[in-house]
Structure 1
Amino acid sequence: MERPSAGVGQGAAAVVSAGLGIVALTGSWVGTIASARTSLVGQLETSSSASVAKQVEAVYGNAWHATALVGGAFALVALLIGAFVLARPAFGAPGRVQAPWIKSVAWAGVALGIIGLLLAVAKYLDLFMGLPSTS
């Protein structure tokens, strides 16, 4: 007979992976704070005599990149945790079967992590909603 607590850690990790994947796609408080801080630093470091393009990049572009970095970090963690949960049975007790719902939620975390990572890279490289032209 299987213990009642078998797979609880894997299930919790799978749910955390999916949750982090959702946070990577929707944004987080940490990303908002990083963006606001970067925007403030850009305002403080940019002189009023700087070109409009330089001001826009310092105030908005760097903040946009900070948000992308935080989102990418959440996506990467979601991807790694989901992959760990899926790989765990190979290194655990042989003969123990992982519950199907754990695999499903872990795959969701991996998928959300991949999507979030791709969007974060596209956002960081200005392929997705880049800064407007100032000319």
Structure 2
Amino acid sequence: MNTTPSTATTDDTEEKETADGTAAAPDITKKTGPEEDAVPDGVAPGLTAADVTEMDVAATDAAAEDGREAELEPDPYAEAEAAAAAGAGTGAAAVVAAGLGVVSLSGAWTGRVAAERETLIGQIKTSGGGSAARQISEIYGDAWHSTALVNGLFAVLALLVGVFVLVRPAFGTPTERPQAGWVRSVARAGVALGVLGVLISAGMYFDLFVALPTAAGS
């Protein structure tokens, strides 16, 4: 009886015997189905090249989004430094306003220089003669008015600087730190002294408080 020798066929998932007779692990790298796209080393089995490409694109987009968020996110240290600089500037302006208000009431050396200049001019004008009323007006009246004018200018500056400090938060950014209490208090003092200085200087300039003396018989 003739027997046809059988040929043993093995597929990719059957175990193979090694030379010493032990069973070898099945070769899972071989595929029984149609050829699929090659997958790079280090990628989990079961993923195709298209899946890997899609994952790379998603990772790139996420990195770009993180970069944009990092650029748009404000630096807290820079904001703190800007707020400290703004607070120091407004505090200094408030002190300046108060100082100008005090100068407007007490007088400055510029006012004395202006008064002495007007006195000298009056003496020159009346050196050739003139009535007593004219001498009083030229020598003393113009000097007083010059002093009042200079003091009034200091008062106006104190008023403007103080008002600027008080209204500045209304024009600042929403995240700007509020002003300190002492800054607003000093600024209010500067405004009050400025208003008082303006009133006194105006009264002195227009001879409302103290009138010029009059000569007898004039």
Give the structure-2-normalised TM-score: 0.60
For each residue in 1:97-119, what CA deviation from the matched residue of structure 2 results, as whole angstroms up to 9, or x when unmatched?
Answer: 11111100000000000000000
Cα distance, 1:49 vs structure 2: 2.2
Aligned residue in 2 for 1:87 = 167
Identity %: 55
Q: CA deviation at 1:128?
A: 1.7
1:131 aligns with 2:131: no
Amino acid aligned to 1:134:
A
Equivalent position to 1:108, from 186, 189, 192: 189
**1:68 aligned onto 2:127:** no
Q: Deviation per CA, 1:40-96, whole angstroms, max 9, x where unpaired?
A: 011111244210000010000000000000000000000000000101111112242
Paired residues for 1:3-22 under 5 Å? 3=81, 4-22=84-102
Runs of 4+ in structure 1 deviating by more than 2 angstroms, as ranges, are 1-6
Deviates more, 1:35-44 or 1:92-101: 92-101
Structure ID, larger Rg: 2
Match of 1:50 in 2: 130
Q: Equivalent residue for 2:21?
A: none
- CA RMSD in angstroms, aligned pairs only: 1.3
Helix, strand or coil at the partner of 1:134: coil
How far apart, in 1, do the equivalents of 2:201 and 2:121 lie?
22
**Structure with greater proportional helix content:** 1
Letter in 1 for 2:93: A
CA–CA distance in 2 between the matches of 1:10 and 1:103? 9
* Paired AA for residue 68 in structure 1: A
Q: Could you tell me how far apart the structure 2 residues matched to 1:122 and 1:114 are?
A: 12
The 1:6/1:84 distance shift into structure 2, 3 A limit, reads closer
- 1:6 to partner: Cα distance: 4.1
What is the CA–CA distance in structure 1 between the aligned matches of 2:211 and 2:113, rounded to whole Å?
20
Q: Which amino acid aligns with 1:117?
A: V
How far the C-alpha of 1:134 sits from its partner, in A, is 1.2
Of residues 61, 78, 82, the one that matches 2:158 is: 78
Give TM-score scaled by structure 1 length: 0.95
**AA partner of residue 99 (structure 2):** G
Task: Structure 1: give runs of 5+ residues left out of the alignment.
Answer: none
SS in 1 for 2:85: coil
Amino acid at match of 2:100: L
**Residue of structure 2 equivalent to 1:117:** 198
- Report how many residues are paired: 135
Residue identity opposite 1:63 in structure 2: A
